[in-house]
């Protein structure tokens, strides 16, 4: 198995170009291929918008600070995709734990790749 064939660790996504953890301790992992365009995220968060042409949501930024945490968590929690578990994941980069939606309740990443 080559490196390209190995599964991607969701906690490493985007980290190569990420701002310092101290500045932006939270990040979004978005399973865009599973988004079906309900638009609930855009209703809950100014960071999210729904593209009416493609029917897929999109965040304005993937890395953010404490001041943007509440509305991004609300967007992740309300997302109905992936059989109700959501496709927006808010991760605390300091602990590498999922804050929302966290269906297992233990901070483990619920990304389904």
DSSP-derived secondary structure letter, 41: H
Rounding to the nearest 10 degrees, give the CA dihedral for residues 73, 20, 14, 59: 40
Q: Domains of the chain, with CATH numbers?
A: 21-100 (3.30.70.20)
Using DSSP, state whether 92 is helix, strand or coil.
strand
More confident residue, 111 or 4: 111
Distance separating alpha carbons of residues 110 and 103, to the nearest angstrom: 7
pLDDT, tens digit, for every residue of 74-103? 999 999 998 878 899 999 999 999 999 998
SS3 state at 74: helix
Query: For residue range 9-24, what is the model confidence (pLDDT) as tens digits?
Result: 777 888 889 999 999 9
The predicted model scores a pTM of 0.88
- The DSSP code for 15 is G
């Amino acid at each position: 198995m080559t490196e390209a064939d190995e599964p991607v660790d969701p906690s490493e996504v985007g980290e190569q170009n990420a701002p310092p953890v101290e500045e932006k301790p939270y990040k979004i992992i978005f399973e865009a291929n599973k988004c079906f365009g309900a638009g609930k995220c855009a209703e809950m968060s100014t960071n999210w918008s729904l593209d009416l042409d493609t029917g897929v949501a999109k965040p304005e930024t993937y890395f953010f600070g404490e001041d943007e945490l509440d509305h991004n968590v609300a967007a992740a929690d309300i997302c109905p995709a992936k059989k109700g578990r959501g496709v927006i994941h808010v991760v605390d980069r300091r602990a590498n734990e999922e804050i929302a939606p966290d269906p297992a309740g233990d901070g483990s990443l619920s990304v389904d790749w």
